[in-house]
Structure 1
Amino acid sequence: MSRWRELTGATSGEDYAARFAALARSGKDVHGEARFCAALVPAGARVLDAGCGTGRVVIRLAELGYDCVGVDLDASMLAVAQKQAPGLPWFQVDLARFEPNLLGIAADFDLVVAAGNVFPLLATGTEATVVKRLAAALRPGGLMVTGFGLDEAHLPVPPSITLPEYDDYCAAVGLTLVDRFATWDAAPYDGGGYAVSVHRR
């Protein structure tokens, strides 16, 4: 079972969406991840949001002209995404079993993004497999972007993956580290408790 399911019971889609809607109404910027991704690849590029949740990131990217697909394991989150953007392709799938061809989509994404602590919330022991599956969905030269907490201050669960471990999983499948930041606003990474990593296939 994923740590996300243990944490939420997979019934938190509406609550999660409401929290971000409230942040947006209060004037908070809730599109940092989408803006970060848009700076990496041009409009029209194919983007896979792996662990898309309620679709906040990928819906914004679609509005900016990207060709987007969202996948998530949590049906309650996907139900919100589907309601907000019924025209986008959404798939309920375990990232450890993700195979684009089985879903009828081409494995030639320009960018794969896994924001929102996707990796620390995977089922323990599946992290390397998920990296392999996501890397395989990229075209040669494509980018994988992840952002996740590394300590208890930045996570809703105890930490389960370190940056060296993540980098090793990436290297094992031919991904090369391009850049690393401390925030989605591209602040320089200083060894702190949150990291946004960009790897290239």
Structure 2
Amino acid sequence: MTGQRDRWAELTGGEAGEEYARRFARLAESGQDIHGEATFCTALLEPAARILDAGCGTGRIAIRLAELGHHCTGVDVDPSMLAVARREAPAREWLLGDLARLDALDLPPGFDLVLAAGNVIPLLAPGTEPAVIQHLAAALRPGGLLVTGMGLDAAHLPLPEPPVTLPDFDHWCAEAGLTLRRRHATWSGAPYREGCGYAVSVHSRATA
């Protein structure tokens, strides 16, 4: 661990797992599609891809991606979230770890796709964002994809103001050897326009 609490821990105290799971269960029961992230990622991938769900939470996305035939590893710093993931899919690989110290987990590199959805980047510990992006990029194979989703205003964040801007994020990605390939305003692929409150970004690692 970095010794500095991430913004998620400051908000929840590390005890939000069960309530987070109930929230998405209620959405599913109401008929809403809760698998937009998995559908988006699968459209980018060949079958049986290796995926790292960085900040996997309760495992909702990784479990769906595994159902779609991919090989998923989930990492999260919140034990309460991982407890739900392990209960729902005990055969999957769920790892407790700080993304700012991802190298300490000794994960085999070469992931086809690394996913950081659910406002993972804005909810990191302040100042760790560039290091996290470096670690996520290093986990990718050449040509692999980093897919992120993040709120850009208070309406799309559990925070009074956004701690991360898109220019900052793109700069950290460029420093990590990643190139922006496409950007959307939603997981369903709506076009991104300046001023949108949410951004889904696809960056790629260089092939050589």
Q: Which amino acid in the other structure matches residue 51 of structure 1?
A: G
Q: Distance in 1 between matches of 2:82 and 2:170?
A: 29
Question: Deviations along 1:17-36, whole A, 9 cap, x unmatched?
Answer: 00000100110000000000
Q: Does the residue aligned with 1:78 lie in a helix, a strand or coil?
A: helix
Question: Deviations along 1:38-63, whole A, 9 cap, x unmatched?
Answer: 00012200000000000000000000
Question: Deviations along 1:3-24, whole A, 9 cap, x unmatched?
Answer: 0000000001000000000100
Q: Deviation above 2 Å: which 4+ runs of structure 1?
A: 102-105
Which of 82, 86, 89 is residue 85 of structure 1 equivalent to? 89
- The residue number in structure 1 matching 2:67 is 63
- The residue number in structure 2 matching 1:9 is 13
Which of 181, 191, 198 is residue 184 of structure 2 equivalent to? 181
Which of 123, 132, 135 is residue 134 of structure 2 equivalent to? 132
Over the aligned positions, Cα root-mean-square deviation in angstroms equals 0.7
- The residue number in structure 1 matching 2:110 is 108
Q: Distance in 2 between matches of 1:104 and 1:124?
A: 24
Q: Distance in 1 between matches of 2:16 and 2:158?
A: 14
- The residue number in structure 1 matching 2:120 is 118
Q: Does the residue aligned with 1:198 lie in a helix, a strand or coil?
A: strand
Q: Distance in 2 between matches of 1:120 and 1:173?
A: 18
Structure 1 residue 181: Cα displacement = 0.2
Stretches of structure 1 lacking an aligned partner (at least 5 in a row) = none
Q: Distance in 1 between matches of 2:134 and 2:100?
A: 9
Q: Does the residue aligned with 2:53 lie in a helix, a strand or coil?
A: strand
- The residue number in structure 1 matching 2:172 is 169
Q: Distance in 1 between matches of 2:178 and 2:147?
A: 11
- The residue number in structure 1 matching 2:38 is 34
Are the aligned partners of 2:97 and 2:105 in contact in 1 as well (CA < 8 Å)?
A: no
Q: Which amino acid in the other structure matches residue 184 of structure 1?
A: W
Q: Distance in 2 between matches of 1:181 and 1:168?
A: 18
Q: Distance in 2 between matches of 1:43 and 1:71?
A: 22
The TM-score, its normalising length taken from structure 2, stands at: 0.94
Q: Distance in 2 between matches of 1:151 and 1:46?
A: 32
- The residue number in structure 1 matching 2:151 is 149
Question: Deviations along 1:113-167, whole A, 9 cap, x unmatched?
Answer: 0000001100011110100000000000000000000111110012100000000
Q: Which amino acid in the other structure matches residue 135 of structure 2?
A: R
Q: Which amino acid in the other structure matches residue 108 of structure 1?
A: G
Question: Deviations along 1:86-110, whole A, 9 cap, x unmatched?
Answer: 01000000000001xx435311100
Equivalent residues, number: 199
Are the aligned partners of 2:100 and 2:131 in contact in 1 as well (CA < 8 Å)?
A: yes
Q: Distance in 2 between matches of 1:193 and 1:58?
A: 25
Stretches of structure 2 lacking an aligned partner (at least 5 in a row) = none
The TM-score, its normalising length taken from structure 1, stands at: 0.98
- The residue number in structure 2 matching 1:196 is 200
